[in-house]
A = this chain, B = another copy of it.
């Protein structure tokens, strides 16, 4: 059924006026029509994570300051808490808002390890807070969707492969532009550096991770400053520029650089397993890109990062990695996690003008009020529809029909229900076609396709 062009035009204009304004810098707030899309994305992510057997979890928003600072991420601009009623206690801040979901999760697993079944899989969709300077895609409050699996004593690399596959599958199922997942392995890079005789491994990693930002020249300069020889710098750059979709090809490329180290071999084997396994599920979507190192100190093996394939400069929309020691106590609790930046993804969709929401309500039907005295008729219709799982909204006042229909149009509701009165049967007006026809209260159904919120996101051609 084709939409009338006039209406279509008007609807697009409406969508574009719906801009986002933040009244406190760095804190994004969406309009209802945008939030409906965000909830659609979150629901799709949750569904996929649950299909892989990840249980929902929520940790408290608040951690002990020492537990957050322990991770050595003092640059995370942590927000401390103090009670306004106790201003004198501000000096001794003990509690703070978490800046990610991984550190609180590791703390949760340490605390509850005797009540959990390992390998323990959980996902978590919650906000995190960082007092950073706001910029495109970077907010002071942002929603993350994290999934992690933590093993007891051991966690075979097969889990890394499953996590990367799940991440790719999840993103491929969202109504967003194509995503390119880049994987690497810390052991591969560290082994390569050690094989080259480089001792400042962590520092080298951090610099190399900035390759897309600094460019080849910038990285060259930064590495040289750390005291590396020209030949070391050259080979660090060479390995970081390797990319491959195929494990055999990747092995050849590494070999051609002529560096050998046990850790390098181990890391390369792991990357190849992850690459091969995920390529089966996600042909062409996953690439080994050896410049990926991820900033966090706690990663010890696989690392992964994803960007919108056609907009790589916007930055990553998801990331993750293997951490063998973050949750460990006396007993080893190695983990592997991935994280999707929901707020970041939403802000990119808004920035790229890909978000074209029309509905401002989850209601599918707008029920007309004939008159204030006949309100009971409309309430009965609404009750019946809701009992059948069809969301509806009662007109707020018994104004002229035209005014009431306008209300439905402004909300983006397609179906307007005129309750039966006297001899007249129930009728439904379809605002997209303009047709009005008789309807049976017990069996009428809306067009399911029109309700799909995923269609509110423009999918670029792949």
Contact = CB atoms under 8 A, between A and B. Distances in A.
Given A360-B117, A391-B53, A141 B90 contact: no
A35 to B, nearest CB: 5
B78 A141 contact: no
Interface string A93-119: 101110000000000100110011101
Given A141-B60, A151-B396, A158-B375, A55 B36 contact: yes
A83 to B, nearest CB: 4
Interface string A410-449: 1100000000000000000000000000000000000000
Contacts of A352: none
Nearest to A48: B386
Interface string A266-303: 00000000000100110000000000000000000000
Nearest to A97: B81
Interface in A58-90: 58-62, 64-65, 74, 77-85, 90
Contact of A411 (B36, B65, B117, B151): B117
A33 B392 CA distance: 33
Given A30-B58, A112-B31, A396-B159, A361 B53 contact: yes
Contact of A393 (B21, B53, B57, B379): B53
Most buried by B among A28, A56, A120, A281: A56
A361 B123 CA distance: 11
A401 interface: no
A83 B90 contact: no
A397 interface: yes
A454 interface: no
Contacts of A159: 396
Contact of A391 (B52, B60, B394): B52
A80 B83 CA distance: 6
A60 B74 CA distance: 24
A50 interface: yes
Contact of A84 (B51, B58, B79, B397): B79
Given A24-B64, A115-B18, A56 B84 contact: no
B82 A79 contact: yes
Interface in A340-386: 360-363, 375, 379, 383, 386
Nearest to A369: B158
Contacts of A162: 394
Nearest to A391: B51
Given A80-B81, A84-B96, A24 B62 contact: yes
A119 B57 contact: no
23 contacts: A17-B115, A19-B115, A24-B60, A24-B95, A27-B62, A29-B59, A29-B112, A30-B58, A31-B115, A31-B116, A32-B57, A35-B57, A50-B362, A50-B363, A51-B390, A55-B361, A77-B84, A77-B85, A79-B81, A83-B131, A85-B131, A162-B394, A277-B379
Interface of A: 17-19, 21, 23-24, 27-33, 35-36, 38-39, 50-62, 64-65, 74, 77-85, 90-91, 93, 95-97, 108, 111-112, 115-117, 119-122, 127, 129, 131, 140-141, 151, 156, 158-159, 162, 277, 280-281, 360-363, 375, 379, 383, 386, 389-394, 396-397, 407, 410-411
The 5 closest A-B pairs by CB, nearest first: A53-B363, A53-B393, A32-B55, A50-B362, A27-B60
Given A29-B58, A51-B390, 9 more contacts: A21-B111, A24-B95, A31-B112, A32-B122, A52-B391, A53-B362, A74-B85, A90-B90, A90-B91
